[in-house]
Amino acid sequence: MKDGLVVIVGPTAVGKSGIGIKLAQAVGGEIISGDSVQVYRKLNIGSAKVSSEEQQGVVHHMLDILDPDQAFSVSLFQERVRDLIGWINRRGKVPILVGGTGLYVRSVLDPYDFPDADSSQEIRRDLHLVVEKKGKGELHRMLAEVDPESSARLHPNDVTRVVRALEIFRLTGKPSSSFRRLPEDMSLNDSPYKLSFFGLNAPRDILYERINRRVDLMLQQGLVQEVEGLLQQGYRPGLPSLQSIGYRHTAQYLLGHLTFGEMVRLLKRDTRHFAKRQLTWFRRDPRINWYDVTSLPQELIVRQMAESICSA
C-alpha cells in the first residue's frame, strides 16, 4: 500500500502557500515546504516564509531547520522529506508538499538515488571553495565540460544553480539537464506514492504584477534590515543561503555595489525570470493537474482539489 502524498507546485507569488493551508484544513493535512531557502532560520522576509499567524494552526515542516551557514542539498532534502511523508501518513494525516524548487520536488516524487547527504555537503563545500579561490567563471567552465546544456542555460553569476548542477553530476554521474526530461506517458502511478499532483498558474502579466508587488511588500516589511542584520552577525554574503534571490541583491546594495533603485529593478527582473524557469520546469510534467488562480475562486480550487484527493 503506497503512502499518500499531495503536491502543489507553481511559480513564485502565484499563491501556493495560501491554497496549501486551506487545503490542509479541508483534508486534515500537514504542510511540507518544498522551498530550498525557507529551510534557513533568520531568512524570513526574502524567502516569503509563512509566519506562525499565516499558518492558521496548520502544522508546517521543513521550515527553520538550519542556520544560514549550514549546508543543505537536494539529497538531504530528499532524505528528510521522504521520512516525513511516511511519518505523517502513519499518524493518519495527509502530507502536502508545497513549493517551487523543481528538482527538490522531483527528487521526492521519482526514483532518483543520491548518495548520502554528507557526500553532497562535501561536494558543495568544495565547489564554493572554487568560487572563492578562482571565481565564478571557473565554476561555470567546469559545468560546461560535463553539462553543456545546463551551462548554456545558466548565467555564470547564478552560482547557486551552477553549484547545484555540478553537485548533481558528481553525485549521480548524470548531467542535471537529464533530470529535466520526463517521458510523455508518465502517470501518477509511476510515483512511489499515491500521488495527487496540482499546479497553480496565472496569466503572465498578472503573475509579473504580483511579483512586483511582492518585492515592494518585502522591502516595506524590512528586507534590507533583515539582510543587514545577517551580515552584522557575521554571515558571509557568499554563503549559498545568501546567494538566493532577494538576499543576493540586497547584500550587493548594502555592500555598495548597487544603488537602491538598481537593486529593486534587478530583484524584480530576476524574480520574474525565476518564475519563468519554474513554469518551464513544471510544464514538462504530464502528471500535473493545472489551475489558473485567476479563473476560479480560491475556495472552488480548494474544493476541487479536496474532492480529487478523496476520490483517488
Phi, psi of 47 (to 5 degrees): -95, 0
Which residues does the chain have with pLDDT short of 50?
A: none
Q: Whole-angstrom distance between the N-terminal and C-terminal Cα of the chain?
A: 13
Check: CB of residue 20 under 8 Å from CB of residue 303. no
Distance CA 67, CA 226 (A): 14
What is residue 57's predicted lDDT score, i.e. its pLDDT? 96
What is residue 227's predicted lDDT score, i.e. its pLDDT? 98
> Hey, what amino acid is at 220?
Q
> Hey, what amino acid is at 98?
V
Distance CA 161, CA 154 (A): 7
Distance CA 165, CA 168 (A): 5
DSSP H stretches of helix in the chain: 16-27, 74-90, 102-109, 117-134, 136-146, 148-153, 159-172, 204-221, 223-232, 247-254, 260-283, 298-311
Give the residue carrying C-alpha cell 565554476. 139
What is residue 296's predicted lDDT score, i.e. its pLDDT? 94
Three cell numbers at 100? 517551487
Distance CA 192, CA 123 (A): 28
Q: Which domains does the chain have, with CATH numbers?
A: 4-111+192-311 (3.40.50.300), 113-185 (1.10.20.140)
Give the residue carrying C-alpha cell 522576509. 45
Tell me whether strands 94-98 and 60-61 are parallel, antiparallel or unpaired.
unpaired
- Listing DSSP states for 162-211 in one string gives HHHHHHHHHHHSS-GGGGG---TT--GGGSSSEEEEEEEE--HHHHHHHH
212: closest CA among 145, 276, 270, 149?
Answer: 270
**Overall size of the chain counted in residues:** 312
- Residues with Cβ within 8 Å of 233's Cβ and at least 6 positions away in sequence, in order, are 42
- Listing DSSP states for 86-114 in one string gives HHHHHTT-EEEEE---HHHHHHHHS----
Residue 87: how many other CB atoms lie within 10 Å: 14
Check: CB of residue 56 under 8 Å from CB of residue 19. no
Q: CA 206: distance to chain centroid?
A: 21
User: For residue range 208-265, what is the model confidence (pLDDT) as tens digits?
Assistant: 999 999 999 999 999 999 999 999 999 999 898 999 999 999 999 999 999 999 999 9
What is residue 43's predicted lDDT score, i.e. its pLDDT? 98
What is residue 5's predicted lDDT score, i.e. its pLDDT? 97
pTM for the full predicted model: 0.84
Three cell numbers at 168? 548533481
Given CA atoms 11, 13, 17, 19 in this order, what sign does their dihedral have? negative
